[in-house]
Structure 1
Amino acid sequence: MTSERKDNHVALAMDQNRGVRGRNDFDDVELLHHALAGIDPATVSLGTTVGGVSWDVPFYINGMTGGSTSTGEINRTLAIAARETGIPMASGSMSIALKDPSQIPTFQVIREENPDGFVMANLGADHGVDNALRVIDLLQADALQIHVNAMQETVMPEGSRDFSAWPATIEAVVAAVPVPVVVKEVGFGLSRRTLDTLAGLGVTVADVSGRGGTNFARIENSRRAGGDYAYLEGWGQSTVSCLLDAPSGFPTLLASGGVRNPLDVLKALALGAKGVGVAGTFLALAVDGGVDALVTEINRWKEHLTQLMATVGAPTVSALAGTDLLVRGSVREFCELRGIDAAALSARSAGATDNTRGGHDGR
């Protein structure tokens, strides 16, 4: 039944992600164009640092799937593409592999096909130290993603709905495992208060994973007989809003959720992320086009991101913090309600106070 659920998740996610994506909050952020800011693309470096580890590219294949024969083949395709393009990759949730050892190969294929790449294992926040160490070992993982998905569990017909132990469990895992830990949402966003809480638990890397991409409330509700949670499909904060709302002192932010193209990657990096996760967009390519199509697209993203950084005059990912951003629409309204100085973002290149993550003073 759990393997069938994994296949259902992929099919439903594909229905959401095939074709051209609609508008999301990335469209409310605009980089102010300075016509003479450009530099030589040959001087641009896409390198970034996450959890003390250097990545050659600031975007990655985010955790998606595994746990059935068909999803194992998807993981194979994703892993080969990651190997051929040199980008990091995360597995989907490995809880099914702990319950059903016959599904372990559907995850281990990631390391088999990508023996030298940066691979992240993935497990829910309800799993303790022993299970965390187990999945790290199974993948020889370079990092561990802990996903927090309270709203998904709430809507999921067979969901686990006691979330009270999650903070203590996360704290214990962070203290015990030998690799960096990334705490991530699954598409509903990490608020300022949540990131402050995570910092207090010892977490130094978090993926805000906001609304705008694959909608797990919609997916799980479609699996319910009556579809009675349809009113929750708009729950959560967008990826852009989460980046703007994040406390400026949080060590390392990653961003995912609704990333459709290299311009969205550029915007997320300019808003303070050090790396950008891509799931649904790459899943559709993996399933519909296979390895060759996905490799071609990832390489195109790398080329385009390099050129975009050159156009805005940013030789490094960190230099994007000095680009000028115009925030409009519902995101600007979010900033006003949360006490974030959106206007200051439009003058960063002129030497204004660095408000990369919003410039709020309060909590």
Structure 2
Amino acid sequence: MNIQEHRKDEHVIIAEKQYHDKSFNQLDQVELMLDNLPEISRDEVSLKTTLMGYQIDSPFFINAITGGSPETDKYNFQLAEAANYCKIPFATGSISVALKNKNCQAGFAKLREITQDTLLFTNLGAGNTLENAQKALKICQADGLQIHLNVAQEIVMPEGDREFYWKDNIEQIVSNLNKPIMIKEVGQGISPTTINKLASIGIQNIDLGAKGGTNFIRIENQRRHDSHDYQYINDLGFSLAQCLLSIKPYTNYISFTASGGIRNPLDIVKALCLGADNVGISGYFLHILIKYGKNELIETIEKFKEEIKDIMVLLGCKNIAELHETKYFLSPELLTFKNQL
């Protein structure tokens, strides 16, 4: 096993070890306005929305986790099987390992065989070229490409990159790739400054990848075995609630995915009320799979669909567009943050 494959195994082991039932996404500081006279039938509620330009039947999906080693491939296969059974999209973890080692390609390629009835996206670091992006899509036969921004992870990672001239790569990929593209963070949140930069080069889909769930700074800190200790930046970045409060000026021309510590259907609904078009879930679904198995994960996904509808009834909303118009209240902490944007 090479160093990239070993790192993938470490990421999953450490992520599960660091998993918390409680999220730190600050969505608990958002209060929704209930409608006690909703005048609505639950059968009227639609969960349809969009993801990377595609119409999808539920507003959440299994987001990028990992892959590329024999052990992580096993998890990916089961996650993909659950996604396909439940008809929700599935995104692979970074496929960079398969571009460096052809022996790792089979696991990613198999994911398309598993996801015949749903959307499949793959994932690549922003330092990759257009040629690599094209190879990534070809290996997976994917419906779109996520490009991740992970400067903080690379800085803390002992063997990480130290050069971050990424914008030209992204522009080249956006201009020449014939599949939809999403830019995503991996746990520190995308700032308004970054959204401005991405908008200027034509990015139409952004996954906020906020602080509050799986934290790759913490993961890489735990992997370190030298005297360089970055524990003091473990909490660097924006929470999901903070990220969502910053997207309003852009929602007319950028579609946002909310991710980072989603734990339950109410988190999903709150994220949609704050302006997201869809929600990505990684760590929570991986935790369910590891601890309870694929059948429990399938039950959880189906339960989420039904309970999102229940919450929408409580809000008097028939669809996602109406959720976007729902009134909400912020804690003093979040209100102060919003007023400083």
> Which bracket does the TM-score occupy, shorter chain normalised?
over 0.9
Partners of 1:330 and 1:183 in 2: how far apart? Answer: 28
Structure 1: which amino acid aligns with 2:124?
L
Partners of 2:139 and 2:39 in 1: how far apart? Answer: 45
Partners of 1:109 and 1:333 in 2: how far apart? Answer: 48
> Does the C-alpha gap of structure 1 residues 223 and 64 become closer, same or farther in structure 2, counting only changes over 3 Å?
same
- For normalisation by structure 2, the TM-score amounts to 0.96
Alignment of 1:140-151 (within 5 A): 140-151=141-152
> Does the C-alpha gap of structure 1 residues 329 and 101 become closer, same or farther in structure 2, counting only changes over 3 Å?
farther
Report if the CA contact (8 A) 2:182-2:204 is conserved. Answer: yes
How big is the shift at 1:254? 0.8
Q: Name the structure 1 match of 2:234.
A: 233
Extract structure 1 runs of 4+ deviating beyond 3 A.
none
Q: Name the structure 1 match of 2:18.
A: 16
Partners of 1:327 and 1:97 in 2: how far apart? Answer: 44
Q: Name the structure 2 match of 1:45.
A: 46
- Please state whether the residue corresponding to 1:189 is helix, strand or coil: coil
Structure 1: which amino acid aligns with 2:271?
A
Partners of 2:332 and 2:64 in 1: how far apart? Answer: 30
How big is the shift at 1:101? 0.9
Partners of 1:16 and 1:35 in 2: how far apart? Answer: 39
How big is the shift at 1:287? 1.4
Correspondence 1:310 to 2:313? yes
Partners of 2:121 and 2:223 in 1: how far apart? Answer: 28
Report if the CA contact (8 A) 1:48-1:274 is conserved. Answer: yes
Q: Name the structure 2 match of 1:358.
A: none
Q: Name the structure 1 match of 2:9.
A: 7
How big is the shift at 1:37? 2.4
Q: Name the structure 1 match of 2:129.
A: 128
Q: For residues 315-351 of structure 1, give each alpha carbon's deviation from its aligned partner in whole angstroms, at most 9, with x where no partner exists.
A: 111110121101104322211222xxxxxxxxxxxxx
Q: Name the structure 1 match of 2:182.
A: 182
Structure 2: which amino acid aligns with 1:90?
A
Alignment of 1:271-350 (within 5 A): 271-338=274-341
Structure 2: which amino acid aligns with 1:218?
R
Structure 2: which amino acid aligns with 1:237?
F
Partners of 1:86 and 1:32 in 2: how far apart? Answer: 30
How big is the shift at 1:227? 5.9
> Does the C-alpha gap of structure 1 residues 193 and 250 become closer, same or farther in structure 2, counting only changes over 3 Å?
farther
> Does the C-alpha gap of structure 1 residues 109 and 285 become closer, same or farther in structure 2, counting only changes over 3 Å?
farther
Structure 2: which amino acid aligns with 1:5?
R
**Higher relative contact order at CA 8 Å, sep ≥6: structure 1 or structure 2?**
2
Q: Name the structure 2 match of 1:211.
A: 211
Structure 2: which amino acid aligns with 1:210?
A
% identity of equivalent residues: 41
How big is the shift at 1:193? 1.6
> Does the C-alpha gap of structure 1 residues 200 and 42 become closer, same or farther in structure 2, counting only changes over 3 Å?
same
How big is the shift at 1:24? 3.5
Q: Name the structure 1 match of 2:112.
A: 111
Partners of 1:94 and 1:15 in 2: how far apart? Answer: 23
Unaligned runs of 5+ in 2: none
Partners of 1:299 and 1:45 in 2: how far apart? Answer: 15
Partners of 1:43 and 1:71 in 2: how far apart? Answer: 40
Partners of 2:305 and 2:104 in 1: how far apart? Answer: 33
Partners of 2:23 and 2:212 in 1: how far apart? Answer: 9
- For normalisation by structure 1, the TM-score amounts to 0.90
How big is the shift at 1:208? 0.9
Q: Name the structure 2 match of 1:351.
A: none
Q: Name the structure 1 match of 2:258.
A: 255
RMSD between superposed Cα atoms in Å: 1.2
> Does the C-alpha gap of structure 1 residues 218 and 178 become closer, same or farther in structure 2, counting only changes over 3 Å?
same
Q: For residues 244-274 of structure 1, give each alpha carbon's deviation from its aligned partner in whole angstroms, at most 9, with x where no partner exists.
A: 1123344211110010111000001011110
Structure 1: which amino acid aligns with 2:192?
R
